[in-house]
Structures are given as C-alpha cells and as structure tokens.
Amino acid sequence: MNLSPEPRIAIVGAGLGGLTCARVLQRHGRAVTVFEREASADARPQGGTLDMHADTGQAALRAAGLLDRFHDLARPEADEWRVLDFATAAPLAKQPPSAGDDRPEIDRGQLRGLLLDSLTDNTVQWDRAVTGVIPLPDGTCRLLFADGSAEDFDLVVGADGAWSRVRPALSPAAPRYTGVTFLETGFDDCDTRHPDLARLVGNGSMLVKGAGRSLVAQRNSNGHIRAYIALREPQDWHMAAGVDLDDHRAVRTQLLRMFDGWDESLRYILRNGDTGFVNRSLFVLPAPHTWEHVPGVTLLGDAAHLMPPVGLGANLAMLDGADLAHALLAESTIGAAVRTYESVMLPRSAEAATASAQGLDHLVPATAP
C-alpha cells in the first residue's frame, strides 16, 4: 500500500535537490509545494558548470524523466581537465573527456531551468522565506514564514542549503570554515576578447596549484569562462590585508601580491576579469553528520551534508531528491519512507564527505605540489 492520498509535502529551497524531488513526485501524480526565499528564478546568478555523474546526477535525471533533455544541453567535450605548472604555465597533465558521455558538463543555471520548466505551474512559491520549523506532537510539522504566517505539513523537506532553517529541527550542527576561500571572476566572449586564456583552458577546465594557492578556470556555455582563485587563508584574509572586498581594484592588487612568482599568462586571470570578484568562503558540516529520526521532517543536499565544491555536492543533492521521492512513493507511511531514505542517504553522505575533504586538500594543497 502506498501513502494515503494527497499527503501535504513541503520542500524548502528551490535548488537542484529540492526541484529533483518535486519533479519525481509530480511525475508520479503526487502533490508538492516548494518554498523559496528568492523573489524569482532569475534573482541571482546560479554559478558555474557541473559535471553530472552517471551513477548520481544522471541517475536522478533519469528518474525525473529529463535525461534526454539534459543531453540536449550538456557539453560532453567539456569534461576535460588541463593541469599547468604555476611558474611556467607549461602543461603537466591532461585528462581527456570521459568515454561514453560519463560526466558531461552543464551550466548550473541551465540545469536548474530544466528542472523548473518540468514542474507544474505554481509549484514553486517564490519570495516565501522560511524562518523556522516546529515538529508537532501528531507527527506533522509547522513551517514558519518571514511574513509571520505559518502552515502545517505532513512532511517538510529541508533542501535549503548550507544555512538551512530546517536543519535545527533535526540537528544542532553548524557549518564550519574549511580554511579555504574562493574568489570568483568571469570572462565574457572569451574566444574573441580573451583568446590566450581560452587556449589555456581549452574545452573544459584548467587547474594550477601552488602552496596554499590555486587557480581553477572552467569553460561555460555561450563563450564564458568562470575562474576561481583559491586561497588557503583565514576567513578574514581581506581584513588582515586592509582590503575592502567591494573595491575590486584593491582586491586585484592584493591578489597579484599573493600570486607573485606565478606565470604572467596565469596572472591574467587576476588582472582582467569582466565581472569583478565575489568572495566565497567554503564551509562544511561535521562528517559524518547524522541525526535521530524526527517525524515529519528530513533534509537533503547541502542542508544534510554540506561539502567542499569538488564535484560531488550537486550530484548527491539530486540523487537525494530522487531517492526521497521514490521512498515516498513506495512506502505505506511518511515515517517509513523517511526512515528508508535516511538509512541510505546518511551513510552515503558520510563516505562522500571524506572524499570531498580529501579532494579539497588535493585542489588547494598547503604546500607546493
């Protein structure tokens, strides 16, 4: 026997994991509402390119009935990595695209748009910021909204990212700083306006590592290159240097000092971005992050297992969403479904968290590689 008709299911957060869960549920005739604090789908840029793994992200897209449309947008040729020497920009290694479209790339914004377009009208309630969650004695859950209103649901799914407002209903865990900060910048019409950088990056991504410093540049669609300047520094590195993050000229000057001795073709990334710099301190949740089952509420994606951005997070979030939806479709009660989902997701995320931490150490080594 499946769940009773029309259980009230709320997903907090319109990211990739929450939208995947909503899509799979709707594909099988289940009602669901997604609450998102942002005012619209275009309220902010959605970040860079993602490689979708066959056994996680692509498996979730298959469950959502969107795999063919994904392949229409994806760039299999972009699953290529070039590793360069920081002092000379000479190639050290090259990893060609995986055979059989194993990990094709897609812009995060395109993937989110694909999921949003697959949902029925008004599934996502925009500009509905959630401030808290209260589990109720009858096993349901109350959502509290920033406008002072409240609504009760049979299940609340926290898919609201690193600083989840749902997580405190299950766990006291809080994100901690990893010791690494990314500064993001971008280059438009790169083949015409930044041809030397375009040649260095190639069709996929470029990685250059030094002691506590790395540069990552990745080809996006529409001729755009997105670059990340990785620093193994205290979170307040800019304050210690007397740099105002809103003063992009001052940020650029400080970065050039920090990357002294690097090849000038690589320092081009520091000098010539078209979009200024966005400072992104990287946080993680304790690993393993677990909790005792609480009726009426669960977590997925970064809300459940925040990890460094080394290629696993989006894939796992989407697989979480698909797995939770399948459990809700298969089990006789919401409680049984959530227990089934958590019994798979929690150990999987613990293993992935260890791999992601090692990946960050490899990406931004403390000493020269």
Give yes or no for residue 101 having a pLDDT over 80. Answer: no
pLDDT band at 45; cut points 50, 70, 90: confident
Q: Exposed e or buried b for every residue in 142-152, given b needs 16+ CB within 10 A?
A: bbbbeeeeebe
Q: Determine which helix (DSSP H) or strand (DSSP E) holds 7, and give its type and residue range.
A: none
Percent of the chain scoring above 70 in pLDDT: 97
The whole-angstrom separation of Cα 168 and Cα 149 is 19
Q: What average pLDDT is seen over the chain? A: 94
**ω into 286 cis (within 30 of 0):** no
Q: Tally Cβ neighbours within 10 Å of residue 355.
A: 13
Q: What is the DSSP string of 248-310?
A: HHHHHHHHHHHTTTS-HHHHHHHH--SS--EEEEEEE--SS------TTEEE-THHHH---SS
Burial of 164 (0-12, 13-18, 19+ CB in 10 A): buried
Q: Tens of pLDDT along 306-351?
A: 999 988 899 999 999 999 999 999 999 999 999 999 999 999 999 9
Is-above-0.85 flag for pTM? yes
pLDDT at 43: 82
DSSP annotation of 156 reads E
Q: Could you tell me which CATH number the domain at 9-76+100-175+285-363 has?
A: 3.50.50.60
Average pLDDT of the segment spanning 113-135:
97
Give yes or no for residue 73 having a pLDDT over 90.
yes
Mean local confidence (pLDDT), 207-235: 96
Largest CA distance in the chain: 66
CATH says 178-284 is which class?
alpha beta
Residue 133: its pLDDT value, please? 97
Q: For residue 258, what are the CA distances in angstroms to 14, 239, 255?
A: 37, 15, 5
- The pLDDT tens digits for 189-216 are 999 999 999 999 999 999 999 999 999 9
The helix (run of H) or strand (run of E) holding residue 95 is strand 91-95
**Equal CATH topology for 9-76+100-175+285-363 and 178-284:** no
Domain boundaries defined on the chain: 9-76+100-175+285-363, 178-284
CB of 49 within 8 A of CB of 108? yes
User: What pLDDT score does 79 carry?
Assistant: 78
pLDDT band at 99 (very low <50, low <70, confident <90, very high): low
Given a cut of 50, whether residue 263 has pLDDT beyond it is yes
Average pLDDT of the residues in 355-366:
93
CB 181 within 8 A of CB 231: yes
